[in-house]
Amino acid sequence: MSIEAWQICIVVTAAIVLIESGVYLVRKKMPGPQLPRWWRTVLLGLLLVLSLVVFVVALGPSMADQLSSVAAAVAAVGALYLAYRSYNSKAQTSDARTKPEDPDHPTES
């Protein structure tokens, strides 16, 4: 029995649902134990790594390489937009400080 690429997302989703259901039932019976915050962060990171590995395996190395190039380009455009917005907001606040107050429309302090 082999798993085809289109079945991987279904298998991973089913595994996550089963694991979450088990955790929910255990925590419902024993509400006392809480995982430390850093454990939850580590577990989330492991889930992310698992998802990325499954994604790359499902796509194959050449398609994953192409998609990572596109993702890097999208991230660069997003960073450029955020830098522009940051620059604009700083310019507007410095303009507001240097403008003389309008005597007809006083601002409240």
- The position carrying tokens 């398609």 is 63
- Residues 54-104 pLDDT 10s: 777 777 778 777 888 888 888 888 888 888 888 888 767 766 566 556 666
pLDDT over 80 at 14, yes or no: yes
Which tokens belong to 41?
């962060």
- The position carrying tokens 């089963």 is 18
Q: In which region does residue 60 sit, left (phi positive, over 0), alpha (psi from -120 to 50) or beta (all else)?
A: left
Q: Give residue 96's pLDDT.
A: 59
Q: Which DSSP category does 99 fall into?
A: S
Q: Give residue 61's pLDDT.
A: 74
Q: How much is the pTM?
A: 0.37
12, 51 Cβ separation under 8 angstroms: yes
Query: If we measure between CA atoms, which residue out of 63, 7, 58 comes closest to residue 71?
Result: 63
Element (H, E) at 77: helix 61-98
- Residues 29-62 pLDDT 10s: 877 667 777 887 888 888 888 877 777 777 777 8
